[in-house]
Amino acid sequence: MCQGSEEAESTYLRPVDLRPMLVASSSSSSSSFSSSGSSCSISSSFSSSSKCNDSIVVVVVVVVVVVVVVVVVVVVVVVVVIVVVVVVVVVVVIIIIVVAGVAVVVVVNVTLIVVIIAQVLLLMVAAVEYHVLDN
């Protein structure tokens, strides 16, 4: 409360309507009041310009754009990493299948070669026996 007379201490101060001060305009608005019978007065003046509000809007827009760009970059990086991992897994699986197929072909071919050699040896042994038994 105001210091001064007892009359000022018992009088309630009226609230100040701050809405005109919050309106963005190029003109300045002021409001003031004083208590009756005392030396206490409260005054307030507020000057706003559209440049201040424009700069706030610009800052907000820049922040939003930066956040959106960061989110998009993070999503793109995650998608690229997932695609690379999937491609690597597919290539590894294909290599395993090819190596397994080649191994199977090699084993089958070696087995066939061994069987053919064994048959040729058996035929040679049989021919020798037949020739020996004929003579």
Q: What is the mean pLDDT of residues 101-118?
A: 95
pLDDT of residue 134: 76
Residue pLDDT, tens place only, 33-72: 444 554 444 444 444 555 667 778 888 899 999 999 999 9
Residues 6+ apart with CB under 8 A from 39: 2, 4
54 or 27, higher pLDDT: 54
Residue 99's pLDDT band, with cuts at 50, 70 and 90, is very high
Helix (H) or strand (E) holding 99: helix 50-134
Tell me the range of 22-26, 60-64, 130-134 where mean pLDDT is highest.
Answer: 60-64
The full set of domain ranges for the chain reads: 6-48
Cα-Cα-Cα-Cα torsion 102, 103, 108, 113, nearest 10 degrees, comes to 90
